[in-house]
Structure formats: structure tokens, C-alpha cells
């Protein structure tokens, strides 16, 4: 390159800016996208079992289309340092790729997919969506990924369940938006006399939860129903209603009505346990909240004080808010459906 050319391209400062962008933004984004794709497609799991050539990998993944494209994609993974290739066989090379491939890190792998597939697009497309008056829909989400990634905070939700659950008495539980069904199962394991109805709005999510609970021999105690909770009209019968990580699937102005409806399903003295990320937490949960603000069905993450107030307006008593993760805004809300006598005493 001639010196004059070099001066020309560096003069305006755009080349250094481009190089700096490539290093600080583009490469990490490419790595994250590659890893999310490798995890979601099953490539990581395949390579965790051992080195694979393209054809073996393609067969295992059910890819019949042009395999040279799969090779090009894998070679990019090699260039990014996440894979290596030796005598035609690909293997895991990067520390993150190896860690994400471990089954015990499945929730983290799903969280990475959630960031790349849902969080990035809302940041990318937000202004354009406003310009074209379009909104995100439930179909823009993959319920299976969300159900898996929600497990990242499982230990904290389980602690909240432990605090509220009677371990011995027969107990009737309703779980709203059960996702994978893991928390209703956890409750059933804590109390062997518990029976439950678990509902989820997304058919594939409800079907997967039902299949998993059946495989674990719990179908006689836990019924999974594909239903919108707003359409579930039953006699007041539940001792406990749990609702984890889904209050933001409902618009703010519908939340009191939803909570009133939930209360109508509780027996007198029954309680609700709601866990949720609230506003003001880490960046990931803030972007999650933004996603739901851009959705045509949901709303922003709740403000903790506002949600406690909505529970009271819906007729609940003894509302207790607890921060579940130190330094974070992930909270549990426990509240009681008043017994008739407590109402009479107040009157
Ligand atoms: C983020 S996921 C959480 C799943 C699970 N509770 C957990 O914490 O792992 C929210 C779930 O709520 C369900 N959901 C949303 N709106 C619902 C409604 N109106 N009735 C029933 N389920 C609903 C969604 O289908 C989704 O599976």
C-alpha cells in the first residue's frame, strides 16, 4: 500500500474506528451468535460426545441439504476459536463452547440463545418497529428456549416455593404458566400429598411439560392443561397458586383483573406465590422487560411496589415482598385470599 493511500484511509478516522468496532463489537457478537447456533442446533452436544466429520454431524442433525455449507459454517467456528479441526474431524476447542456443551449448563446455553434470538432483535429493530407500527408477538418467542433459560434462577424460585409450601397436609396447587413444569414437580416432590393443575398458554410448552411429568411418574398427581389462565373458570378450590416469571406476559392494565381472577380460584385462606424480575435489575432483565414492552400481548417488568399494590387492589391480604437474589430485583410476592371471617371482622 502506498503511503498516500494509507494517509487517505486513516485521515478521517473511519478506518481506526472500523478496526476498533471489529475488535470490540463484531467479533464477540459473531462468537455469541455462533455459540448460540451451535447450542440450539445440537452441534455442541454432538461434538461433546467426540470428534465428528461433516457427514456424521449432518446425519446426526438430520441435515440433508448442501453439506458444504455446514462445513463453511463449522470452519467459521474454527476461525472464531470455538472449534478445531484435525484430519477432517471437528471438535470443541473454546472454553465457552466446552462449558455450554455440558448438560448441567443447559439453562445458561438457553439464556445465551435467548439473548441472541430475542434480546438482540428488540434492540436492533425497536425504532423500525415503532416506525412501522408493528409489535412483537408470542410467535416471535420460542417457548421451549424460554422454558429452559428460566431455569437459570431455579434455585431462588425453589427457595421461594419451599418457604410457602406445607410439606405434609393434602394440598391443591394451581400453577399458572408452568413452562417446563419443573417448579410444579419440585412442589410435588416436597409434599407427597400435593395434587396440582398446571396450565400453560403455549401448546408445545404444555405438551413438553406433560410428557416430562408423565415420564417421571407424576401424571396421577399433576394434570397439565394447555389453557389461557384467563379462560380457566373453576370453583374456588386451590390452597396455593404459583406464578413464576410470567406476570409480564400480561399488560399492566390487565394485571389487577388477572390477580382477581387468580384469587377467585383460591379457597378461603389460600395463598398466591408470584416470583418475577422487577424493574431496576441487571441489563439482561431490563432488555427482557423492553422485549415485553414491545410485545402486543405483554407489558413491562413490574415495579415491586406497584405489583404489591395491585395484589392488594385485587383483594389479597398479608402481601409480603421478598428480594430473592441479593443486589438484584428478582422478588417473590406472597399474599393471602382473606377468609370470610377476616372480612367480617374488618367490616
Ligand atoms: C417465562 S415462561 C416461565 C415458565 C415457568 N413458570 C418458569 O418459571 O420456568 C412464561 C410462561 O407463561 C406462559 N403464559 C403466558 N401467558 C399465559 C396465560 N395467559 N395463561 C397461561 N400461561 C401463560 C407462557 O406460555 C410461558 O410458558
CA 12 to chain centre: 44
pLDDT of residue 343: 64
What separation in Å is there between the alpha carbon of 307 and the centre of ligand 1? 18
pLDDT of residue 150: 86
pLDDT of residue 168: 94
What separation in Å is there between the alpha carbon of 229 and the centre of ligand 1? 10
Please list the pLDDT of the chain residue by residue as tens digits (347 residues): 787 877 777 777 788 888 888 888 999 999 999 999 999 999 999 999 999 999 999 999 999 888 999 999 999 999 999 999 999 999 999 999 999 999 999 999 999 999 999 999 999 999 999 999 999 999 999 988 988 898 899 999 999 999 999 999 999 999 999 999 999 999 999 999 999 999 999 999 999 999 999 999 999 999 999 999 999 999 999 999 999 999 999 999 999 999 999 999 999 999 999 999 999 999 999 999 999 999 999 999 999 999 999 999 999 999 999 999 999 999 999 999 999 876 666 65
Strand partners, 223: 197
Q: Which residue, among 66, 77, 7, has the nearest Cα to 38 in the 3D structure? A: 77
What count of other Cβ atoms lies within 10 Å of the Cβ of residue 342? 15
CATH 1.10.10.10 at 3-101, yes or no: yes
pLDDT of residue 147: 82
Cβ atoms of 173 and 184 within 8 Å: the answer is yes
- For ligand 1, atom 13, name the residue with the nearest CA: 177
Cβ atoms of 117 and 33 within 8 Å: the answer is no
> Rounded to whole angstroms, how far apart are CA atoms 337 and 210?
29
CATH architecture of 151-346: 3-Layer(aba) Sandwich (3.40)
Cell (9 digits) for 334: 406472597
Pairing mode, strands 238-244 and 266-277: parallel
What separation in Å is there between the alpha carbon of 59 and the centre of ligand 1? 34
pLDDT of residue 345: 65
- For ligand 1, atom 17, name the residue with the nearest CA: 201
> Rounded to whole angstroms, how far apart are CA atoms 114 and 122?
11
Cβ atoms of 278 and 329 within 8 Å: the answer is yes
Most ligand 1 atoms within 8 A of CB, residue of 179, 210, 284 to mutate: 179
pLDDT of residue 209: 95
pLDDT of residue 347: 59
pLDDT of residue 38: 98
- For ligand 1, atom 5, name the residue with the nearest CA: 179
Helix (H) or strand (E) holding 85: strand 83-86
Does 3-101 match 151-346 in CATH topology? no
Question: Sign of torsion, CA 9 10 11 12?
Answer: positive
Question: Which protein residues are within 6 Å of ligand 1, measured from CB?
Answer: 143, 146-147, 150, 176-180, 199-202, 205, 228-230, 244-246, 249
Burial of 333 (0-12, 13-18, 19+ CB in 10 A): buried
Q: How long a stretch of residues is the chain?
A: 347
3-state secondary structure of 272: strand
- For ligand 1, atom 4, name the residue with the nearest CA: 179
Q: Which residues of 284-323 are buried (b: 16+ CB within 10 A; e: fewer)?
A: ebbbbbbbbbbbeebbbbbebeebbebbeebebbebebee
Cβ atoms of 136 and 158 within 8 Å: the answer is no
Domain boundaries, the chain: 3-101, 108-144, 151-346
Amino acid at each position: 500500500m502506498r503511503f498516500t493511500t494509507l494517509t487517505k484511509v486513516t485521515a478521517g478516522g473511519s478506518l481506526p474506528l472500523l478496526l476498533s468496532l471489529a475488535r470490540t463489537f463484531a467479533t464477540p457478537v459473531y462468537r455469541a451468535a455462533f455459540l448460540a447456533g451451535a447450542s440450539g442446533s445440537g452441534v455442541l452436544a454432538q461434538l461433546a460426545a467426540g470428534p465428528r466429520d461433516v457427514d456424521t454431524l449432518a446425519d446426526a442433525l438430520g441435515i440433508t441439504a448442501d453439506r458444504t455449507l455446514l462445513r463453511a459454517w463449522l470452519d467459521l467456528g474454527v476461525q472464531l476459536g470455538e472449534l478445531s479441526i484435525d484430519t477432517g474431524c471437528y471438535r470443541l476447542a473454546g472454553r465457552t463452547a466446552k462449558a455450554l456443551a455440558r448438560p448441567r449448563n443447559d439453562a445458561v446455553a438457553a439464556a445465551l440463545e435467548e439473548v441472541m434470538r430475542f434480546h438482540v432483535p428488540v434492540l436492533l429493530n425497536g425504532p423500525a418497529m415503532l416506525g412501522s407500527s408493528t409489535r412483537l408477538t408470542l410467535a416471535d418467542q420460542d417457548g421451549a428456549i424460554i422454558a429452559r433459560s428460566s431455569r437459570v434462577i431455579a434455585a431462588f424460585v425453589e427457595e421461594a416455593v419451599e418457604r410457602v409450601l406445607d410439606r405434609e397436609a393434602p394440598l391443591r396447587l394451581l400453577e399458572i404458566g408452568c413452562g417446563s413444569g419443573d417448579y410444579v414437580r419440585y412442589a410435588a416432590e416436597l409434599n407427597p400429598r400435593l395434587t396440582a393443575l398446571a396450565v400453560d398458554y403455549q401448546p408445545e410448552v404444555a405438551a413438553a411439560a406433560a410428557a416430562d411429568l408423565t415420564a417421571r411418574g407424576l401424571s396421577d398427581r399433576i394434570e397439565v392443561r394447555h389453557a389461557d389462565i384467563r379462560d380457566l373458570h373453576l370453583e374456588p378450590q386451590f390452597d396455593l397458586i404459583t406464578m413464576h416469571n410470567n406476570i409480564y406476559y400480561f399488560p399492566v392494565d390487565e394485571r389487577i383483573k388477572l390477580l382477581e381472577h387468580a384469587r377467585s380460584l383460591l379457597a378461603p385462606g389460600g395463598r398466591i406465590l408470584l416470583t418475577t424480575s422487577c424493574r431496576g435489575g441487571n441489563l439482561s432483565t431490563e432488555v427482557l422487560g423492553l422485549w415485553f414492552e414491545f410485545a402486543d400481548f405483554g407489558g413491562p417488568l413490574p415495579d415491586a411496589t406497584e405489583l404489591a399494590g395491585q395484589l392488594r387492589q385485587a383483594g389479597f391480604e398479608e402481601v409480603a415482598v421478598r428480594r430473592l437474589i441479593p443486589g438484584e430485583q428478582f422478588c417473590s410476592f406472597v399474599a393471602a385470599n382473606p377468609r370470610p371471617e377476616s372480612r367480617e371482622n374488618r367490616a
